[in-house]
Structure 1
Amino acid sequence: QSVSMMVTGQTIANMLGVPAGTLLSEMLSWRLAFAILAAWALMTMVLVIAWVPFVAPIKDAGIKGQFRFLTHAGPWFILMAVFCGNSGIFCWWSYISPWLQKVGGWDSSLVPLLMVLAGFGMVIGGIAGGRLTDLWKPGATAGLSQAIATLGLLLVFFVPGNHVTTALLTFLIGFALFFNSSPQQLLMVQAGEGGGELIAGAAVQIAFNFGNAVGSIVGGAALTATAMNYHYTGLAGAPIALIAVIMLVTYSRRYETHTGATERMREVHV
């Protein structure tokens, strides 16, 4: 739950920042949105310096020691799941604005409000993922999240678009996108114990962002091949997201044996 609360900050930023930036770009100038973002980043740097307490550095395992965890198969299952899960979702998410307008029939002026709805789904998903991870297994929780995303992407393809269905799918897939944030971060940090914790945490973000980029390319190719039929962004993404489900189910069956949070607890000195 602690990890999920940290991630909630990012999701709330998505919920408020994405529609705010979209609105500013449409009403005033996209350059103004970037100028505000730069000023906001400077303020964030000041707040980090002022508020984040000193934390003792982790064990210095040397360069080789920091990457030693990658010699095991388990972390690669997780990284592949993060990559494939995000690739699948971003096949659709990268083109959500035209999808909402052309498939759902929404006016462009209402798209920012729907981005708030997606952000709200992310917030709820992040908190729910943290709570379920404490009660269940991180790998299984992440697998459930990717299964929800796969279902949502299939519905994007099969369900005829209207205001209600596109709004519900926007919320559902946004929920799934951040439902897996806490368990996947936790899995990688645990995999990197012994000096590779920070590299493991960074590796999740690399897989996340790489998946975003590849998903956009695949979704764009699907649109080009189907004469801009936005239903096919869901069909292109669903099989990729399904690979993430398979990776996480395999990981959970192979490496996770304890389901109770109490059994997984250990004393930590800070």
Structure 2
Amino acid sequence: MNKKVYILAIASFVVGTVELILGGILDLIADAFHVSLAKAGYLISIYSFVYALSAPILLNVTAKIERKKVYMWTLFIFLLSNVFSAYSSGYYMLLIGRILAAASGSFIIVLSTTMASRMVKPEYQGRAIGIVFMGISGSLVLGIPLGILIGNALGWRQVFVMIAILTAIIMITVWFTMERLAPAPIVPLKTQVKALRNKKMLAIHLATLFVLAGHLTLYAYFTPFLQETLGLNTTMVTIIYGIFGLAAVAGGGLGGAVSDRWNPSSSVITMIALFFVSMIAMPFGVHLPFVVFLLLMIIWSALSWAVSPAQSNLIIHSARETSDILISTNAAISHVGIAIGSYVGGIVVNQYSVIYNGWVGSIFVLLGLFCSLYAVTRTESTADTLHSK
């Protein structure tokens, strides 16, 4: 397999850090600009909103341009967005920086995924995508804690300086080591719209939405879940999150490798089914010996990140002609699922108890499983459907 895929994974690691880091330094930013935590939190909301919308649009705009050139320019804009954020003189200047980071960051992730799949032989496509997702999940383990450490020790602005420096190093590496990559054949907008309307692709997208909604129903409130059910202190919660992150990294790589070894359809169904079982089991696990609960959590974490690369591989195998745009829209809809899961999880916590979040989340995952079963039983590919119209 082409080792240069790891460069794309490192880029995804840096982008993942920028996406997730703000939650850890939100209080520092609120104090710096004399705004409430709620207003500082809008910087996270606007990032997710722009992130969800940008990649499909940017893919269309740059469809005719050589991919390495597009990748370099997108990295450059991402670098500028972090310099802009680091030296912002006010709240709204930082907001503009976050908007630029979200637009370029989402595009970098999609480009990394699609370029990785095209840089390797077909039998390694799932593994290559999994390595990119390992980069994203790796930001949970190392990027976020490192950012929080730098933010508290040197100031929040230094976090963005660090990201800008890392981005510059990636740009230099890409420039000198990666070959030019021709753009995929131009797919007319009408054909892209038909691809999105295809029943198989709609089902895959809905599966992504429901699985992530189910995951976030519990994961967004995992800290109170651990504190209320197990009585863990802050130190233990931090350790648990570290273990979760390591399992997530392993899961991202495992999901891609398994979807290569099996076929993508079987791997997606198996992973979502096992994820459904793990979601149901989590609330029961708190009554078992702590080691057993930890093992269960590791399985849940690994599966939560294993599904996405397998889904991307399924899209590539089902619709090679339009896979770039479909992967980008699938990434966009994942953020809708994250928003839904976080919202529903909050209702459960406020109205009932956090112990029920896992079970409520499992209902979403079950819906995702049904959607995936429908998708894989559709024998025609998107391309077949499009050519028949």
TM-score class, shorter: 0.7 to 0.9
User: Aligned equivalents of 1:199 and 1:39: distance in 2?
Assistant: 32
Q: 1:231 is matched with which residue: 355, 358, 382?
A: 355
Give yes or no for the alignment of 1:16 onto 2:142: yes
Aligned to 2:369: 245
Counterpart of 1:43 in structure 2: which amino acid? I
User: Aligned equivalents of 2:209 and 2:158: distance in 1?
Assistant: 31
Provide the secondary structure at the position in 2 that maps to 1:67.
helix
- Once the two structures are superposed, residues 120-174 of structure 1 have per-residue CA deviations (whole angstroms, 9 ceiling, x without a partner) of 1112212222222112121221222212221121112333346435433331221
Map 1:163-178 to 2 at 5 A: 163-178=290-305
Q: 1:217 is matched with which residue: 343, 348, 353?
A: 343
Provide the secondary structure at the position in 1 that maps to 2:181.
coil
Q: How many Å apart are 1:218 and its aligned residue?
A: 0.8
Aligned to 1:255: 379
Aligned to 2:172: 50
Q: Which range is displaced more, 198-207 or 246-255? A: 246-255
Indicate the structure whose relative CO is greater, using CA pairs within 8 Å and at least 6 residues apart: 1
Aligned to 2:207: 81
RMSD of Structure 2 on Structure 1 (CA): 2.5
Aligned to 1:110: 236
Would the aligned equivalents of 1:140 and 1:249 in 2 still touch at CA under 8 Å? no
Would the aligned equivalents of 1:188 and 1:197 in 2 still touch at CA under 8 Å? yes
Give 1 or 2: higher helix fraction.
2
- Once the two structures are superposed, residues 171-221 of structure 1 have per-residue CA deviations (whole angstroms, 9 ceiling, x without a partner) of 122111111122111122344432x33221211211211111100111111
Q: Which range is displaced more, 39-48 or 177-186? A: 39-48
User: Aligned equivalents of 2:272 and 2:184: distance in 1?
Assistant: 31
Q: How many Å apart are 1:7 and its aligned residue?
A: 1.5
Cα distance change on mapping 1:230 and 1:127 into 2, 3 Å: same
Cα distance change on mapping 1:191 and 1:234 into 2, 3 Å: same
- Determine what percentage of the aligned residue pairs are the same residue: 21
Aligned to 2:327: 201
Aligned to 2:277: 151
Equivalent residue pairs, number: 250
Provide the secondary structure at the position in 1 that maps to 2:297.
helix
Aligned to 1:266: none
Q: How many Å apart are 1:24 and its aligned residue?
A: 6.7
Cα distance change on mapping 1:254 and 1:192 into 2, 3 Å: closer
Counterpart of 2:304 in structure 1: which amino acid? L
Q: Unmatched 5+ residue regions in structure 2?
A: 1-126, 382-389
Q: Unmatched 5+ residue regions in structure 1?
A: 258-270
User: Aligned equivalents of 2:373 and 2:309: distance in 1?
Assistant: 17
- Once the two structures are superposed, residues 9-57 of structure 1 have per-residue CA deviations (whole angstroms, 9 ceiling, x without a partner) of 11222222344456677xx38x94x534422432343244323333211
Provide the secondary structure at the position in 2 that maps to 1:12.
helix
Provide the secondary structure at the position in 1 that maps to 2:320.
coil
User: Aligned equivalents of 1:144 and 1:40: distance in 2?
Assistant: 40
Aligned to 2:41: none
